[in-house]
Amino acid sequence: MTRLLDKKCTACELGAPLVPDEQQKDLLQDLEGWLIDRADILKLVKTFQFSNYAETINFVNLVAKLSEDEDHHPKITVEWGRVCIEWWSHKIEGLHMNDFICAAKSDELFSKVNK
């Protein structure tokens, strides 16, 4: 996962390359528990579990800051004790390297919050 954590998102313009299927499989091996949702538009999806609502919201706020820092924004669904994050690149309607970078950084945030 280190190679993804060391990267920074790049501007994703219309026509930017999607991550090829074979590379998606390789990158998924560097992520823990992320799935590719193949319905409609390809998305990286993961649900994070928490023991209370305060921890849940703290994590959401950290992901929101990550999103602003990387200028890449996920869908975040919040419930008591659960956060579902979906990363995909809206402009190119699929998976870009930015999505894998942000998924790795989301995992890192979770590990810091969930000690």
What is the pLDDT at residue 111?
92
Residue type, 76: I
The 10s digit of each residue's pLDDT in 93-109 is 899 999 999 999 999 99
> pLDDT-based confidence at 50, cuts 50/70/90?
very high
Please provide the average confidence, as pLDDT, over all residues in the chain. Answer: 93
Q: Are 28 and 20 in contact (CB under 8 A)?
A: no
Q: How far is CA 72 from CA 9, 13, 49, 112, in A?
A: 7, 12, 23, 21
Q: Which domains does the chain have, with CATH numbers?
A: 37-115 (3.30.1360.20)
Q: Report angle CA 98, 66, 2 to the nearest 5 degrees.
A: 60
What is the pLDDT at residue 1?
56
> pLDDT-based confidence at 81, cuts 50/70/90?
very high
- What Rg do the C-alpha atoms of the chain give, in angstroms? 14
